[in-house]
Structure 1
């Protein structure tokens, strides 16, 4: 079954499964135990931490293991808010963030914090000037995603980092969707906190990490043991962490560049085919600043739920938006922020996302099936 929903989750590489199986069978000690089994587990844990730190060009002690992107976002946002609330209670984010950020901000509003939500324009983009204008003397945190999970729009993170270099606010970015797609250097971008999830990079679910720049203070949100240098309580998911590090090993700068070019080819081919066939469609999002593996398309006059269902029946997996809200009947909050609450795009848009194991033949099949299905649904609706 051709799978084009890699922005939701990705298949685990067989090499990663093999590494994890070895750990589950042979390295079963608790990394906090002092006997030989524990020491072996601890050494394995730290080796994985070093692998991740090396790729990000940061210190190993700046990597905190988590259960995934949601926990990383919560740690960064709630942790900063409570640690710095004596300095101010103003937070800044955008209105198209992942629910892990938006719902966390909503929670903090109930705790007396004030949140400014930067609105995106019609192509789902913000400007550094918007952020600069929103900054106040009591702003303690700015949280802006690196790239949007529904549209693939890349935000001006480096420019925001430059602005915040001269400002005391902590800078967090949810980089879940962009990690492994382009080389990241949080120090160069002046990022203080950066959250990642392994299952978006062909690693296991239920594991991730938070980059916490040395010196950045966070209040604890989990209380228990002294794991992760007393920053995140709970016995580490060693097999998952090793699996994540193994997946990261495959994401060299060279491989990321190769992937980018392949996904861009898929992206371009699909758009060209749709244009050649005279399909009425438009791309949702900033076409100048986007991740090539994500393509959010509106097909005029074609309900997205019907299109998804018909493609699924023909063995092709796509999405109508974020997997974290796919079970909801509510329309995409991202498209709503771009177009308005009652815009028809909210009912006529799908997300296609490419990834590991997708081939040109599969993309040709996707184009053929998509075009035929759209034409059939359009014809049915006009009769």
Structure 2
């Protein structure tokens, strides 16, 4: 059974609410605007829920409108306020100020910008700064209050859980003409609300944040506050919100509000705070160095936002998900954008905290058994990390043999390990990975023979020297002088047990560009080529330290030394293709093909390449582009296999292999998947998948490979990489194990689904 700890994004629907919605569909299906008996019954239901909402929200006067959710409510409030302000001159004749909290949900600033532009206004929009604790700077607000036409603040923040000082905001606005909009979404059911006791003009709520279905919400409008309908038409809701009422949604919301008013199912504040403390203790026991990103004393009792040094939010989300614990990296509306939290940035937290934050949130209807299970799962996550050398561990663990790849914003770092001799070499270490590499290698007690760069980097400072000092024991390795890239002077190879690394200078991208050739028991296995050749690009040669006239000769030397099919591992992989070879790149990069075929000499190649490198835009990660891309043709044909077709596909491909590309810490937490018909399975994490490519690619005919992961993203990356390299039988399970499990297994019972 899953442990759902993402209640700030949405909640399951309460059983009582579901029953109320079904009853409304079956019995109270009349249109509330009709005057016959069925309509009157429906109208009575709507009026009853509205009266209940007034009591729960402490709003005996003013309007309470049923809307689709807080987004619609906020849009309506902003439109109403701006439409009124356009007719009302500001006290000093300057344009009105539109103020919003810097940590607001994105719907607020986006709505302000949208309606400000659409209405042809020229009002000035400013963000109210927050202190390091996440609360608004009330002195800043007070200074601008006389010019403010609209002020937008949250009752409680959806990411950090910080509770706003609404009384303090009201005091700051005492002499202000401003209208005041409050986003009350996260407060409902968790904080006492008395809307009528403050000078709040508008307040918006969403039912799905408190066990009601999606698509129903409330908008409070203070008596006398200006109002402009967002939706005009049939005149429903007193002509304030046209459209036939969502009867099932209103009924379900009414059931939730009734449960809240009764005060039995939803836990009181002290109990919720005790639950949070138990979860806090479990997190701190599981993750060394964990820090909470907001002070618990001023946060919702149901929300924890934390970061762990050296662990990215993506790693933690994958880890929790493997343990069937659902958490998030912040707002669900921004989850797909892979950007640091604007909330934590506004609070002035260090970049690593904002980049790696995780939010844990639960609903007020959970119970002690749920919290106990959640704490146990959290501790198991910590144990899985420690078992994979990603946490504090005292005993040496088995080394990960072969090549492990690490990636940060398109930049790649590799660790080559010979497990038998416990020796390794680090290639192109990245600053962001310093602590991670230090922990990982120290835990495994690997003997570091060298820390190398493939070239002098332009997009980041090398940390090779610092890592070398931290990890290498000069008494345990050959104490030879090293060159600027870390290679031992006078040595032709670096031995790693049965493996060796050989140096191949390739000036071009930079004057010191170098490839490192990896041999395994004498056979050439693959090459680390830096930025000389990238998937879909050639390393740029317009840097001051570049050698553009030497580039063509280096590429020809690379082809002569390695041949067309040897696997090349780049220092940058912006499109996440994992690896490449000269055959693939020659087919997709005309410039490379021409220089290898002798159609371009060194001067012609340098001149043509200079054209490609004019005004190179930053990468998708907003970093310096280290390669000049050429138009490429990506894989052809379908790549994804629908889970519903899996069994039939396995019967058609009896020699297929099932490749699980999740990382070891995820695999430790998940039960093995059982397939019928049986299919050979291999655990090949994406970080070490490179080790299998030299064996899979030469197969003729190619063996069907079905890649799987949690969501289908990493498996699709793996399948694309193989297709691009010519393996036409590489597939990804669409939607990943999450979607497949949903199709394979019966839905849990209502109580299990709600986890309450």
Q: Could you say which TM-score interval applies, normalised by the shorter chain?
A: over 0.9
Post-superposition shift, 1:276?
4.6
Aligned partners of 1:81, 1:140: CA distance in 2, in Å? 8
Tell me what 1:48 maps to: 49
Paired residue for 1:39? 40
Check whether the contact 2:303–2:359 (CA below 8 A) recurs between aligned residues. yes
Equivalents in 1 of 2:137, 2:362: separation in Å?
A: 27
RMSD: 2.1
Confirm or deny that 1:345 pairs with 2:357.
no
Shift in alpha-carbon separation, 1:273–1:55, aligned structure 2, 3 A = closer
Aligned to 2:383: 372
Deviations 1:38-57 (A, max 9, x none): 12211111111111112223
1:10-30 alpha-carbon deviations (Å, 9 max, x no partner): 111111111111100111111
Q: Offset of 1:374 from its aligned partner?
A: 4.6
Give the CA deviation at 1:378.
Answer: 2.3
Deviation at 1:163, TM superposition (A): 3.2
Verify the 8 A CA contact 1:183 1:253 in the aligned structure 2.
no
CA distance 1:293–1:370, shift in 2 (3 Å): farther
Q: Residue 204 of structure 1 contacts residue 240 of structure 1 at CA under 8 Å; is this kept in 2?
A: yes
The answer to whether the Cα contact below 8 Å between 1:307 and 1:374 also exists between their aligned partners in 2 is no
In the aligned structure 1, how far is the partner of 2:43 from the partner of 2:6? 35
Question: Residues of 2 paired with 1:289 and 1:129: CA distance?
Answer: 19
Change (3 A) 1:275 1:3: closer
In the superposition, the TM-score normalised over structure 1's length comes to 0.93
Distance 2:272 2:58 in 1: 26
1:267/1:195 Cα in 2 relative to 1: closer, same or farther (>3 Å)?
A: same
Determine helix, strand or coil for the equivalent of 1:135.
helix
The structure whose residues are more often strand, as a share, is 2
Instruction: Point out where structure 2 has 5 or more consecutive residues left out of the alignment.
Output: 91-95, 392-435, 442-756
Quick one: structure 1 residues 223 and 246, their matched pair in 2 at CA, closer, same or farther if it must change by over 3 Å? same
Choose from 329, 334, 351 the match for 2:338.
329
Query: Is 1:317 the counterpart of 2:326 in the alignment?
Result: yes
Hey, what's the Cα distance between the residues in 1 that align with 2:246 and 2:266? 30
Q: Which deviates the most, 8-17 or 357-366? A: 357-366
3-state DSSP of counterpart to 1:160? helix
Q: 1:362 corresponds to which residue?
A: 373
Partner Cα separation in structure 1 for residue 336 and residue 196 of structure 2? 37
Q: Report the secondary structure of 1:30's partner residue.
A: coil
> Which structure's residues are more often helix, by fraction?
1
Aligned length: 381
Q: CA deviation at 1:352?
A: 0.4
Matched, 1:209 2:215: no
Deviation at 1:257, TM superposition (A): 8.1
Query: 1:277, 1:236 → 2: CA distance?
Result: 48
1:121 matched to 2:131: yes
Select which of 196, 202, 208 maps to 1:199.
208
Q: Decide whether aligned partners of structure 1 residues 30 and 276 sit closer, same or farther in structure 2, where only a CA change above 3 A counts.
A: closer
Residues 374 and 171 of structure 1: is their aligned pair in 2 closer, same or farther, counting only changes over 3 Å? farther
Q: CA deviation at 1:298?
A: 0.6
**CA–CA distance in 1 between the matches of 2:99 and 2:357?**
28
Alignment of 1:7-22 (within 5 A): 7-22=8-23
CA contact (8 A) 2:149 2:179 kept: yes
1:116-171 deviation line (CA, Å, top 9, x unaligned): 2111222222132221112134x221111111000000111112123334332111
Task: Quote the residue 2:253 is aligned against.
Answer: 244
Instruction: Pick 1 or 2: higher relative contact order, CA cutoff 8 A, min separation 6.
Output: 1
Q: Is the 8 A contact 2:146 2:175 kept in 1?
A: no
